[in-house]
Amino acid sequence: MNISAHKAAREAGAELHPRHRWNLTSRRARARVVNWLFKYYFLFSILALCLVLAMVIFFIGKTAMLTFQEVTPAEFFFSFDWTPEEDRFGAALFIVNTLSLTLLTLIIAVPLSLGMAILIAEIAPAWVKKFVSPLLDLLVGIPSIVYGYLGLTVLLPLLRELSGEGLGDGLLAAALVLTIMILPTISRISEDAISAVPRKYRDASYALGATRLQTTFRVVLPAAGRGIVAAIILGMTRAIGETMAVVMVIGNTPQLAKSLFAPTSVLTSNIVMQISNVDFDSTWNYSLHLMAFLLLLISFVLILIIRIIGRKGGA
């Protein structure tokens, strides 16, 4: 009875009271304005992102291109002789070293972190997940310099002991430090992806008589493929751009790494080591900018490659 009375009153109000009607249209107008505002707000956000990217490409690129006034592209990209104090600017060694360091890191890190992710998401009981997930989140947030310092004080002496080398710095040390750094990133995100695979897929697989191992590798992992690829990309870009941790354990010597223990240098570590010691208006400075630009391109290309592999694997 009460309800119908209310309803009647409301209808009457909508019909009769102009104030009430105005209120209604104002609510509609407000919704429209808010919608409009949010549309432009989101548009602004994406534009801001594009602007930053464009500025990075433009300003780094502009300085970078000045390199080619003095150095031929052939020398820069294919010569292995980086002796800038004598005007020899061959950056090929940094490119090769960066690629091999990233590859080595991924070879060690991906199987390990996928194993961790599968354990947490598929095998371990729920309380382990509750305990380990926040721990991984914490590890993701640790600043890289801390990992670098651990590498310098704990990992290097250990490597010296094991290998009998005098120094221990080199690709292997850097790859191990990077692995520890990106393990939590990759495993945390892949674990999310694996957990998001619907339960019915597993049920169907078990119903067909598959073992847990078969279910995990044939059903769950392919279904979570996209998420895992995203996880690997995030880990890889963190590894390829990492500077401080790498500088502390790689030896910072501009030469091609002929062994895992040879002191060497990658794009990032070379930029940070030399940028503060060069003239503003020198080819040396320009070429360091070009190396930064190159780093951008390399990570872009690697992301593309991994996406293509991921798509093929997922299909």
Q: Which is nearer to other proteins, 15 or 279 (CB)?
A: 279
Provide, rounded to whole angstroms, the least separation between the CB of residue 72 and other proteins: 23
162 binds other proteins (CB under 8 A): no
Which contiguous run of DSSP H or E holds residue 155? none
| Binding of residue 146 to other proteins (CB under 8 A) | no
The Cα–Cα gap between 117 and 133 comes to: 10
Cβ contact 76:90 at 8 Å: yes
Output the CA–CA distances (angstroms, integers) from residue 86 to 89, 238, 269, 280, in the order listed. 9, 33, 20, 17
**In this chain, which of 89, 144, 169, 224 binds other proteins, going by CB under 8 A?**
169
For the chain, the C-alpha Rg in angstroms (whole number) is 28
Please report, for residues 28, 110, 217, the alpha-carbon distance to residue 121 in angstroms, rounded to integers and kept in the order given: 46, 16, 13
CA distance 191 to 188: 5
Q: Which range binds other proteins by CB under 8 A, 118-126, 128-136, 165-173, 185-193?
A: 165-173
Which residue number, 214 or 259, has a Cβ lying nearer to other proteins? 259
Nearest distance from C-beta of residue 297 to other proteins, angstroms: 25
Give the residue, chosen from 165, 205, 225, 286, that forms a contact with other proteins under the rule CB under 8 A.
165
Q: Is 96 in the site for other proteins (CB under 8 A)?
A: no
Instruction: Give residues 72-91 in contact with other proteins (rule: CB under 8 A).
Output: 84-85
Segment interacting with other proteins (CB under 8 A) among 5-13, 96-104, 160-168, 298-306? 160-168
94 binds other proteins (CB under 8 A): no
Tell me: does residue 153 bind other proteins (CB under 8 A).
yes
Choices 9-17, 72-80, 252-260, 289-297 (CB under 8 A): range interacting with other proteins: 252-260
Distance, in Å, from the CA atom of 64 to the CA atom of 66, rounded to the nearest integer, reads: 5
**Residue (23 or 153) nearer to other proteins, CB:** 153
For residues 245 and 144, the answer to whether their CB atoms sit within 8 Å is yes
For the CB of residue 175, give the shortest distance to other proteins in the complex, in Å: 17
The residues, ordered by sequence, that sit 6+ positions from 228 with a Cβ below 8 Å of its Cβ are 114, 117, 189, 190, 193, 194, 221, 310
| CA angle, 182 then 184 then 190, to 5° | 100
Strands (E), 54-201: 82-83, 88-89
Q: For residues 216 and 222, what is the distance between their CA atoms, to the nearest angstrom? A: 9
Considering the rule CB under 8 A, would residue 276 count as an interface residue with other proteins?
yes
For other proteins, the closer CB: 15 or 86: 86
DSSP-based three-state secondary structure for 264: strand
Which of 155, 156, 229, 236 lies at the binding interface for other proteins (CB under 8 A)? 156
Q: What is the largest CA-CA distance in the chain?
A: 96
Residue 227 as a binder of other proteins (CB under 8 A): the answer is no
274 binds other proteins (CB under 8 A): yes
**Burial degree of 124 (CB within 10 A; 0-12, 13-18, 19+):** middle
Q: Which of residues 57 and 275 has its CB atom nearest to other proteins in the complex?
A: 275
CB of 258 to other proteins, least distance (A): 7
Q: Which one of residues 101, 247, 267, 290 is an interface residue with other proteins (CB under 8 A)?
A: 247
Sign of CA dihedral 69, 73, 74, 77: positive
| Binding stretches for other proteins (CB under 8 A) | 84-85, 152-153, 156-157, 160, 165-167, 169, 247-248, 251-255, 258-259, 261-263, 272-274, 276-280
